[in-house]
């Protein structure tokens, strides 16, 4: 790559199933990309508002973390253009 610019991604996985989920199989992409896995068992936006609120909070935190990494100030610090 010209200019020494490299790109990297991390995959965060959110599961919300009340059924069986084979996390051992699915976890590889998060594990090897530097991401994380979060499980929200019993998720239902109307019937289980406590779990829905936890998911909403986790998702908002992830989005705010991504915005911080993409901010112009951080790009300048990291040397990205």
Hey, what are 70's tokens? 């993409």
Q: CB-hemisphere CA count at 13 Å for 69?
A: 10
* pLDDT tens, position by position, 56-69: 888 887 666 554 44
Mind listing the pLDDT tens digit of every residue in the chain (81 residues)?
556 778 888 888 888 887 888 888 888 888 888 888 888 888 888 888 888 888 888 888 766 655 444 444 444 444 444
Q: How far is CA 11 from the centre of its chain?
A: 6
CA distance 4 to 39: 37
Do the beta carbons of residue 66 and residue 36 sit within 8 Å?
no
Looking at residue 14, what is its pLDDT?
87
Hey, what are 41's tokens? 């068992």
Looking at residue 75, what is its pLDDT?
43
Q: Where along the chain do its domains lie? A: 12-78
């Amino acid at each position: 790559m010209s200019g020494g610019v490299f790109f990297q991604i991390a995959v965060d996985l959110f599961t919300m199933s009340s059924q069986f989920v084979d996390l051992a199989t699915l976890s590889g992409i998060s594990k090897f990309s530097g991401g994380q896995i979060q499980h929200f068992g019993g998720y239902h936006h109307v019937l289980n508002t406590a779990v829905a609120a936890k998911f909403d909070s986790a998702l908002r935190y992830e989005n705010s973390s991504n915005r911080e990494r993409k901010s112009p100030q951080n790009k300048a610090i990291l040397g990205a253009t």
